[in-house]
Amino acid sequence: MEIIDKWVAEFLIRCQHNPRVSPTNLLSALRFGDSGDCLKLKVSSVLLDLSDSLTRGSVDEGTLDLLEILEKLLLQQRSVITESHKSAYCWTAAECTLRFMWPLDPLDGLFTDALERIWTKRIGFLKENGSGLVSDELLKWETDLKKAVEDPEMYQRIRESNIRYTAISFLNQLLKEQRGLLGSSSLESVAQRRFRKRKAENNVEGDGVRGNEVPNAVDESTRRLASDNTERGTCEGDNENRNNRDVDGVGCPENDGIDKVNEQLAAEEEGTMGSQEQEHESSLDKGDKMAARELKDYLLEIQRQIDPSTRQVQEPNNAFDHSVNVTPQPSKVNRTGTSGQDHIETPDNASEKGSSSQGTWSGRVRPRLSSPVPLNVSPLKKTNSPVRRPKKFWTPEEVEALRAGVKEYGKSWKDIKNANPAVFAERTEVDLKDKWRNLVR
C-alpha cells in the first residue's frame, strides 16, 4: 500500500501545475519515512514548491527556507551541493535584504533588521552547522552588506543593482539541474521495465502456461489505448489541457532534454547486461512512452475517482471495465488442483463466497465499490507469471554496495536495499540474500 501511496504522491508531485495539490502538505499528510524513495519524493516536492514560488514571481525568505531544506535532503541523499545551489542561496539572501533598502538612508528603514534576521541569525546558524551553502560568495556579500550600513556609497551601489535577476537565474539553473538529477520517475522506470518484460514475453510467445484467466487490467488498457486512441480522446473534456501537457512524459515538462539523457544512460547500463535488448533499442523509446502513458492514464483515473470534480462522463470505458462488478458471474476459473499455485484471488472468488454464505442477500444486487484492479505493476514482486525475470548479472557497483550494506546492517537485506534504493532498484531482498550466499561460498 505504501508503494501505491508513493507512486500516487510522486505522480501528483510531478504532474505540475495542479493547483489543488500542495506538495508539502501532501507529503506531510502521507507521513513518509526517510528511505531513499521518500527522500526523492521530498526533493521533488521542494523543487515543485520552488518552481511554484518562481512562477508566482516571489523570491523571498520562504525561498531561503526551501533552499535550506533542499540542502538537508540532498545531504541525506549523500548528494553534493552544487554551485548553482550555493549561488542561488547567496543571491536570494541578497535579494531578500535588498528589498529593505528602499530608504535613502540605511538606518531609516528595516534594513538593519533584515541584516540581523537574515545574515546574523539565519546565516550564522548555517555557519555553526557547517552548511555547504556558506560559500565565499556569500561571505563576500555579508561583509559588503554590513559595510553598507556605514558606507553610503556602498549602500547606494547595492541598492541600485539588479540582484533579483541573478537570483532568479540561479534558482532556475538549480531547478533544472536537480530535476535532471532526479531522472525519470519510478513510474517511468517501471513502465520501461514492464515494456521490456512484455517484449521478452512476446519474443517467447509460445503462450506457454497462460492458463489463468485473470485479465491484467493494465495490459488490457494498453491494447485499448493502442487501438482506439482517438475514441479515448473524445471523453477527456476539460481535462484536455492537463493531458496534453503531460503527454510529453511523466516527468517535468521543461526537462525533456535531461530526462532523455538519463533514460539513455539507464538504457545503456541495462544494455551491458541485457545484450539481446540492443536490437530493439529504437522501438523501445516509442514503446516506453506508450507504457508510461498507459500507467499515467491509470493514475489519472484514480485521481478522478478520488476527486469528483475531475470525474468525466466515462461510461463506455467504465462499462467495459467494471461489468464484472455488477452481474455476478459464474467463476470460470477452474482451479487446476495441481499444486499450491492457486493464489489467484479473483473478484469472482469473493462473490462466490459471498453468495454461498450469505443467503440473506438473496435476489438483491449488493452495491459494491469497484473492485481493485490487480495492479500487477511492480516487476520485482512475485508475478504469478510463467515468465522468469531475465537473468541480470551483478555489477561491481552492486556487489560493493552489498558488501558495505552487510558490513553496516548485517543480514537485514531489506535494510540494505532501503539504504541504497538506487543501486538495488532492480534487486529484491531475496536477490541480495542469494548474491551474498554466492559471495561467501
Partner DNA sequence: CTAGGGATATTT
Partner DNA sequence: AAATATCCCTAG
Residues that bind DNA (CB under 7 A): 339-341, 382-383, 388-394, 411-415, 427, 429-431, 433-435, 437-438, 441
Rounded to whole angstroms, how far apart are CA atoms 235 and 67?
A: 41
* CB 28, min distance to DNA, A: 25
Radius of gyration of the chain from its Cα atoms, rounded to whole angstroms? 27
* CB 440, min distance to DNA, A: 10
* CB 184, min distance to DNA, A: 21
164 vs 435, which CB is nearer to DNA? Answer: 435
* CB 337, min distance to DNA, A: 13
Rounded to whole angstroms, how far apart are CA atoms 31 and 26?
A: 9
* CB 201, min distance to DNA, A: 12
Looking from the CA of 242 toward its CB, the CA atoms found within 13 Å total: 19
30 vs 380, which CB is nearer to DNA? Answer: 380
Q: Please list, in sequence order, all residues whose beta carbon lies within 8 angstroms of the beta carbon of residue 118, skipping any fewer than 6 positions away.
A: 61, 64, 93, 96, 97
Angle between helical axes of 152-160 and 83-98 (0-180°, round to 10) = 110
The set of cell numbers assigned to 302 is 484514480
* CB 386, min distance to DNA, A: 8
68 vs 431, which CB is nearer to DNA? Answer: 431
Rounded to whole angstroms, how far apart are CA atoms 105 and 109?
A: 8
350 vs 430, which CB is nearer to DNA? Answer: 430
* CB 192, min distance to DNA, A: 16
353 vs 414, which CB is nearer to DNA? Answer: 414
Rounded to whole angstroms, how far apart are CA atoms 17 and 23?
A: 11
DSSP string of 330-385? PP-----TTSS------HHHHHHHHHHH-GGGTT-----PPPPP--TT-TTS----
107 vs 439, which CB is nearer to DNA? Answer: 439
Rounded to whole angstroms, how far apart are CA atoms 30 and 22?
A: 12
| Torsion of Cα atoms, 246 then 248 then 254 then 258, to 10° | 130
58 vs 336, which CB is nearer to DNA? Answer: 336
The set of cell numbers assigned to 253 is 515538462
